[in-house]
Amino acid sequence: MTDIHPTAVIEDGAKLGANVKIGPYSVVGSQVKLGDGVCLQSHVVVGGRTRIGAETEMFPFASIGLAPQDLKFAGEDSELIVGARVRIREHVTMNPGTSGGGLVTQVGDDCLFMVGSHVAHDCIVGNNVILANNATLAGHVHVGDFAIIGGLAAIHQFVRIGAHAMVGGMSGVENDLIPYGSAMGERARLRGLNLVGLQRRDFSRDEVHNLRTAYRLLFAQEGTMQERVDDVVELYSEDEGVMEIVNFVREQTSRAILQPKSANGG
């Protein structure tokens, strides 16, 4: 049964699913759609063209779907889509897209956004992603499934964070982090593979061995990156995880691939 506190404001046009709970002093805008079982604890604001998936829970003072922090934004009809079973803690902010990024910001299922974390305009966030306290994504960032962004970390605009990657706390990430990679530092560098994450997600010893060998080949000192990628493909073309890294590296973007400190003499 839907439970709406008498102090909550539900604007005309808002669409609420079954068994929605909206706590004291929350505000739901006219273009918002809340899926079944969504819970807004109290003092939550959800505005704009925003869709919230089933059983997502928002905690006090979250601000979701309001206009992006982009001076180029001119009121275009953009949207924010949040998946199912997402936990959005206190003071989290998420903004819709802009005309410069496809008009949509999207967050997958089963994510956790800890206190004060931020998802800017035109970001695409996968499933099972964790942003720790005060971690921030600038505009147009892509984050793969199961990635973890540590507390106070900042991801530069247009950067890609690969699936199963880990960004250490207080890191500034200016370039793309490969899937399964681990990065940290004031200006983050690649520090190896996210071996703890792989272990927690029950990757087999053979899978981890192949990823480690492929990593060493990709970031060796000899040859060009293209030559090293070709060597990895020749050895591991049938390995799904390794090829995920290869395809990530091959994709052309505006950002370079994050390198280890020793790579290319850096």
- Which residues are marked as active site? 121-122, 139
Taking the mean position of all CA atoms in its chain, how far away is CA 191?
A: 20
Radius of gyration over alpha carbons of the chain, in Å? Answer: 20
Task: Annotate 43-83 with DSSP letters as a single string.
Answer: S-EE-SEEEE-TT-EE-TT-EESPPPS-TT------EEEE-
Q: Residue 241: name the closest of 189, 181, 188 by CA.
A: 181
- DSSP-derived pairing of the beta strands 181-184 and 189-193: antiparallel
Q: Residue 193: name the closest of 183, 182, 204 by CA.
A: 182
